[in-house]
Amino acid sequence: MTRNGPITPVRGGRGVLLPGWIRTRPDPAGLLTASVVHLVGMDPTTQIAPTFLTQRELAELLQLPERTLEDWRLAHTGPPYLKLGRHVRYDLHDVLAWVQEQRHG
């Protein structure tokens, strides 16, 4: 997926909305903006902190029901996830890599 022109974050009450990309929770350190720029190939040497998504955030990003993510975890398919105690988190970098692997054609 490519976009023309620079990526300009738009700040709103619920976090950062990157046009055509993702909406996240507020990020006071600006790490998300750096990670998205890194992930779209602007500067491959930039070191970034991992961005973890909840099941709800990932469902919104992929435009899928949360139940689908639960089913994928039970069937050991779908994007890689982490269990932190009883909490499930998805590393954005791992999810985007998994999405690229799903491309056909």
pLDDT at 105 (0 to 100): 81
Q: Which CATH code of 1.25.40, 1.10.3470, 1.10.10, 1.20.272 fits the domain covering 50-105?
A: 1.10.10
Residue 105, both tokens? 């054609």
Please state the domain extents for the chain. 1-49, 50-105
Residues ≥6 apart with Cβ < 8 Å to 25: 14, 15, 57
pLDDT tens digits, residue range 14-61?
454 444 555 555 555 555 555 455 455 555 566 667 899 999 999 999
Q: pTM of this prediction?
A: 0.55
Residue 104, Cα to own-chain centre: how many angstroms?
21
- How far from 44 is each of 15, 35, 47, 52, CA to CA, in Å? 25, 10, 8, 20
Query: How much is the pLDDT for 40?
Result: 56
Q: With contact defined as beta carbons under 8 Å apart, do 70 and 77 qualify?
A: no
